[in-house]
Structure 1
Amino acid sequence: MSSHEFKVHRREPELLRPAKPTPHEFKYLSDIDDQEGFKFQLRGAQFYGHNPSMAGKDPVKILREAVAKTLVFYYPLAGRLREGPNRKLMMECNGEGIVFIEADAEATIEQLGDPLRPPFPCMEELLYDVPDTTDILNSPVILIQVTRLKCGGFVWAVRHNHTVCDGPAIAQFVTAVSEISRGADAPSILPVWERHLLNASDPPRVTHQHLEYKESASKVDNTSESEDLADRSFYFGSKEISTLRSLLPPGRHSTFEVLTACLWKCRTIALQLHPMEEVRFMCVANARAKFDPPILPKGYYGNGFVFPVVATIAGELCENPVGYSLELVKKAKAKFSEEYVRSVASYLVINGRPQFNPARSFAVSDIKNAGFEDIDFGWGKALYGGTTEAGSSGFPGCSYLTSFTNKDGERGIVASLSLPATAMERFAEELDVLLKKNQSTSGDIARNFVKSSL
């Protein structure tokens, strides 16, 4: 469905406040939260079909009331982000509210995607960026749009300030809304602020190298990544993952490692970089459930991610078998530790909370287990739940792995990417070669790409 065929009728956006009075206070963000690289908006959505048992019930009315009640528990999210001394970010909990949009679309759930996965048509209509609400400071932290569909289904779409919450945090908030929409008096997991847990030590103590925040040593001029970007997603069921595993050395390799290794190699080949160009993999590592004892309590809804990095050169990544990229991915994962998290916080404070370096970098964010697809507002589980973007508005080199059920009922994974249009075609071709297990052809393509750039 093209944009001119898709009509959404929106009511005037409203500021939705907590259902009851909440404390007026200031709460500091953590030293992980307020880094420069998180100062952008994240977007996600859940899509729901018609449910006969909910006939006559209005999802907009039910969800508006549930959000207001949930904000009583998550009252900082109804506040405004302020900047204090030394650019330290803090939340003024003033109850001003979030943005809520009621809308109706002249479309059915089937017209929004077949299959229903990112990138989605007309997402800018299903999640409208209200003017003067996108600034990181002094603006609403969350924008929600609920759009009724002609078929009786609806779309719940959310945009939120990444500085305040990461993906699992917003999933926790939306899950709380769903529980209250179904009649609960309180969320089953109560929110926990406690951002001091991810602050730098006093004095700050950097114990690791943090390549993710440093400029590349490579000075080769290559501008292919600055072209207009194309978004696309790729499905991997059990058959595809098994095929990719067969290309790797024997051993225990997680599905994340297998997919990431193959995606990184195919992406690098597709970009046709100079063989001496440095390329990096950033492992998006979640500190919530990794450690025993845990360093973050259940219910924590700040940013809990760090980005251990490995680097190589494009020629090595393209010419070597996929096992080469697999070992690098494992090496990045192995860097992740509690001490690494502490070191990141200290590094950020000492160096003025810098932007992580996206140049020639590839990151993979695994949101398969975030729970977006399982969120039930009363209409059943989502037909799709997760990111709406192929890359990320703050980091186009980030790919997302999302749970997905295809038409045959097979549960698999969708990997979404953003690449220059011509590179996207090459990526799809190279991935197809891998999935056909034609390793000799794959190597020939890689070598030809490298030779062509010499």
Structure 2
Amino acid sequence: MCTVVTKSPPEIVRPSEPVTTTAATSKVIFSPLDRPLAIVPIVVLQVFEHPIHEPVETIRRGLSRALVHYYPLAGRLAGDDYDDVHIDCTGEGVTFVAANADCTVKELVRDIDCRSPDAAKAVIRELIVDYPANGFGRADPLVLMQVTAFACGGFVVGVTWNHGAADGFGIAQFLQAVGELARGLPTPAVTPVRWDGWAQAVAPSTVMASKRFMFGVKAPTRLALHSITIPARTIDGVRGATACTMFEAVAAALWRCRTRVVMSDPDAPTVLAITVNSRKHVGVKDGYYGNCATVHMAVARSGAVAGGDMTEAVRAIRRAKEEIPERLKKGDVIGELSKEQLGGYESVLLVTCWRNIGFEAVDYGGGRTARVMTTYEQGRVRPMCVVCLPWQGEEEEGARVLSGCVTPHHADAFLREIATL
């Protein structure tokens, strides 16, 4: 089928009441973890199957009320250079688009799942507000939201946000607040915090290492996008053997499949990079919604990952996670890895997980999120995989993954490896 989406012109939603700021609260100085991401757009789409009364108006009202508590998100980027970038809390508001679609949400999801990833991406783009291809500028709103109502009464909330203003955990916390206020609660359940001295005190070496990892590589001109599923039987088998988490089992499977395809020297190191919510390690206050995720590395010989049991890969991942507090304390998240080892297409895979970070808990009045999806632009990221929240009931099939981790040259071989799991 062909999903047809009709959009209304964009409007600006401002805080529902005036926000009084002081000299200390009129701007948010970006932390060392915020600054590298100051113009980066990130997209999340939340699918809701059950109807609510007037979803567009209900969510618009909740958004306006939430911006009173999260007033920095209604501001604008400012600052003349990288070291000075910050948010001016101007209260100018965020972009909001109302839309309608001519199908049901289940038909939409089926439509997306049955298409090639590139074709599915075109459908997803209809469910979000257009955003600058080169990232956010100083005059751009920090949040762009589209609410699309479907023929069945279900709806999709598509949000694009400036990564410098909040990380995934932070924007999920904000969307939970939008949902709480849309449902009529007087205040958000979590009191938001956007300034915290702990975040400002992150070791410079940690920031430089993460920045070098994220942006110090020339990614292939084209990576093949795939929507894949790591089977539940594989996940259960690995978890039964190692008592690991679902994410660790999925990451190990992806790491092995990709290593078998792209690496030929069994003695060369292969690196699995994972993003970690470091709030509890860094010690920021409860409710902090700025960037507090760091990248950490599991390293092994490619031959061990490609030819060994997956439990060995899991153990490497678990060792890396156990070292996180000490590495953050020392400011040594990359360790002895060289620029060459981190810079190549073959040697590094980044895996991040969007399950259990808060998107699944958002409720605008008809129940929690039924599915979480995302998309990303070619050439903006390293070879990576995003583990997403599946449609309700799909957990029995396994873990759904948006993969952009191999070039077209390696795509068929990679999919064959996935098929053997």
Indicate the TM-score class for this superposition, using the shorter chain for normalisation. 0.7 to 0.9
* In structure 2, C-alpha distance between the alignment counterparts of 1:40 and 1:18, rounded to whole Å: 24
Partner of 2:306: 318
Provide, for residues 111-140 of structure 1, a one-character-per-residue CA deviation record: whole Å limited to 9, x for no partner. 212397796560010113156994243311
Provide, for residues 290-343 of structure 1, a one-character-per-residue CA deviation record: whole Å limited to 9, x for no partner. 44xx70111100111111224455455324443443333223213311661672
* In structure 2, C-alpha distance between the alignment counterparts of 1:88 and 1:271, rounded to whole Å: 41
Identify if the C-alpha distance between structure 1 residues 233 and 396 changes in structure 2 by more than 3 Å, giving closer, same or farther. Answer: farther
Partner of 1:8: 5
Structure number, greater radius of gyration: 1
Query: What is the SS of the residue equivalent to 1:197?
Result: helix
2:229 corresponds, among 211, 231, 234, to 234
> AA paired with 1:48?
F
Partner of 1:441: none
1:181 is aligned to 2:182: yes
Shift of 1:254: 3.0
Give unpaired runs (5+ residues) of structure 2. 336-341
Shift of 1:194: 1.9
* In structure 2, C-alpha distance between the alignment counterparts of 1:145 and 1:391, rounded to whole Å: 19
Give unpaired runs (5+ residues) of structure 1. 348-355, 436-454
1:305 is aligned to 2:293: yes
Q: CA RMSD in A?
A: 3.6
1:343 is aligned to 2:324: no
Identify if the C-alpha distance between structure 1 residues 330 and 132 changes in structure 2 by more than 3 Å, giving closer, same or farther. Answer: closer
Partner of 2:339: none
2:60 corresponds, among 43, 47, 64, to 64
8 A Cα contact 1:42 1:393, kept in partner: no
1:369 is aligned to 2:356: yes
Provide, for residues 197-231 of structure 1, a one-character-per-residue CA deviation record: whole Å limited to 9, x for no partner. 21237xx675999487369999xxxx994435223
* In structure 2, C-alpha distance between the alignment counterparts of 1:84 and 1:378, rounded to whole Å: 42
1:378 is aligned to 2:372: no
Identify if the C-alpha distance between structure 1 residues 216 and 318 changes in structure 2 by more than 3 Å, giving closer, same or farther. Answer: farther
Identify if the C-alpha distance between structure 1 residues 424 and 406 changes in structure 2 by more than 3 Å, giving closer, same or farther. Answer: farther
8 A Cα contact 1:132 1:139, kept in partner: no
* In structure 1, C-alpha distance between the alignment counterparts of 2:269 and 2:20, rounded to whole Å: 50
Identify if the C-alpha distance between structure 1 residues 215 and 47 changes in structure 2 by more than 3 Å, giving closer, same or farther. Answer: closer
1:269 corresponds, among 260, 263, 267, to 260
* In structure 1, C-alpha distance between the alignment counterparts of 2:82 and 2:143, rounded to whole Å: 25
Shift of 1:43: 0.7
Partner of 1:286: 277
Identify if the C-alpha distance between structure 1 residues 45 and 28 changes in structure 2 by more than 3 Å, giving closer, same or farther. Answer: same
1:398 is aligned to 2:392: no
Partner of 2:46: 46
Output the TM-score relative to the length of structure 2: 0.83
Partner of 1:330: 318
8 A Cα contact 1:234 1:414, kept in partner: yes
Identify if the C-alpha distance between structure 1 residues 321 and 115 changes in structure 2 by more than 3 Å, giving closer, same or farther. Answer: farther
> AA paired with 2:236?
S
> AA paired with 1:10?
K
Identify if the C-alpha distance between structure 1 residues 185 and 93 changes in structure 2 by more than 3 Å, giving closer, same or farther. Answer: same
Shift of 1:187: 0.4
Partner of 2:212: 213
Query: What is the SS of the residue equivalent to 1:404?
Result: coil
Query: What is the SS of the residue equivalent to 1:284?
Result: strand
1:20 is aligned to 2:8: no
Output the TM-score relative to the length of structure 1: 0.78
Query: What is the SS of the residue equivalent to 2:225?
Result: strand
Of stretches 415-424 and 177-186 in structure 1, the one that deviates more from structure 2 is 415-424
* In structure 1, C-alpha distance between the alignment counterparts of 2:113 and 2:285, rounded to whole Å: 32
8 A Cα contact 1:166 1:302, kept in partner: yes
8 A Cα contact 1:403 1:412, kept in partner: no
Query: What is the SS of the residue equivalent to 2:110?
Result: coil
Partner of 1:168: 169
Provide, for residues 63-107 of structure 1, a one-character-per-residue CA deviation record: whole Å limited to 9, x for no partner. 111101110000000001122465332110001111101111122
8 A Cα contact 1:308 1:335, kept in partner: no
